[in-house]
Structure 1
Amino acid sequence: MFGNVLARVAETVGAWQDPVVRHQRALTRAREAVRRRITVAAGLTGATAILLPYGGGVGLPDAGWAAAAGASVASAVWAGRRLAELRAHVPPPARPRRLSSARPAVDRLGRAVASLQALLVRLGSAGEDTAMEAVAAERSLRELAARVDAVEGALMVSPAEAHAGLDEAQATLLGRLDEGTQAYELLVAAAAQCVAATVEGPGDAFASRRLQEATERLHGLAAGLHEVRGVGRAHRAG
């Protein structure tokens, strides 16, 4: 039990330092800023419309209200653009530490991702579904690697009696990471076969089927990782 508690603490600390989690916090702050500034802009604009005289010119106080309303609208627009920029640029999770057992798998994944991107350019529209699944799988695998790294961090500071539970958790997560990385590498191999087939002729149905099967396998594995993470969070919440 104590090992499980330490694992959860390590995961929380790792998540707090993770670039993706920091990005989510920045998104939350940006959304709050947009709401606040829209509220202020709406209030000042409404007040200006009410207070401005309908005739007889605009006095200095009225000009002040109008300027404040304009500035608040501009501020709200800027905050909205900032929120859009944050939504468009989601960083990947941090790379595991140099001595982490997850580091080799993440390095393999990085090489596979680079290879697949080059292959998918050759495939054009035929590789669009594969590209979408690959992006989702890569993110899930990098998040899984971050969890492995967090559990290993807990092992370094936990008492000996907690090591058994942490070792088991680390081994389970690492096994899933290796399995997912292998599935991604198989997808790269299938994409390479498909590219080779298109070079040799009009296309090989067998190579295309291999690519589809590898894509479906990667999709299923990524979905399984999401389910495992969701169950773990629900269990901790309960």
Structure 2
Amino acid sequence: MADERTRYFRRLSRLRRSARRWSVLAGGLGGAAAVLTPYAGLGLPDAAWAAGAGSAVALAAWRWIDLRALAARPAPPPLDPAEAAARSRARLVAAVERLPVGPGVLAEVRRVRSRVALRGTSAAEPWARLDRAALTLAGMAPRLTGLAEPAVVEAATADRSLRDLANRVASVERALRLAPADARPPLAEAHQALTAQLDSGVAAYERLVVAAAGYVAEDARPDAEHPAAAQLTEATDLLHGVAAALAELRAVNTPLRAP
């Protein structure tokens, strides 16, 4: 969506083109009416020319009045470059989200951008592990139903919390690099504690994903043969039987040759 300043100049341009167009049309119709109107008086066709010329003159005058009124108003101030860039990004994101694969593409872009932002910090490796575990859990989520549904909700909450913790670890680490020597010990201690929390949290998340995989495996494993395999075995036996019957029928219908 265009900003106020852009809309102002677009409207100004439209009014200017419209005023010029109606002025040209009024001049043409007025000249034609002056040439074609007989000196003896106005006939019905001549009245139509004169009426058209008068209407065009009136519309042209109104357009010029609107144009002057709009031009007399001060133009809205230009947008701040940061705000303009933010609006452009919002429009682009909205356009991509309307595509069938848009949400997935945007999620992947955000995931890659977050990973790149943590590159070079101690939070990068736990973040990558968390990413792999989260993608694995997302693939199993449609099968985690019933008693497993609360675990999926807890995993989503833990995922957001761990990612926020990873960003804090990276921020403290960057600040530690810039801190003077006398301020580094408390920052280093805080960084070490946050890193330990992040590692333990990611490890717990990975254990949850392993448990979810075990649930999916046990839920999908039947006591006997899989129904699909049983149906395929029955169809195979049926085809073998039909083939054998056709072979026997062909042998019976084949006439014996004389010696």
Q: Report TM bin, short chain.
A: 0.3 to 0.5
Question: Higher relative contact order at CA 8 Å, sep ≥6: structure 1 or structure 2?
Answer: 1
TM (norm. structure 1) is: 0.46
TM (norm. structure 2) is: 0.43
Larger radius of gyration: 2
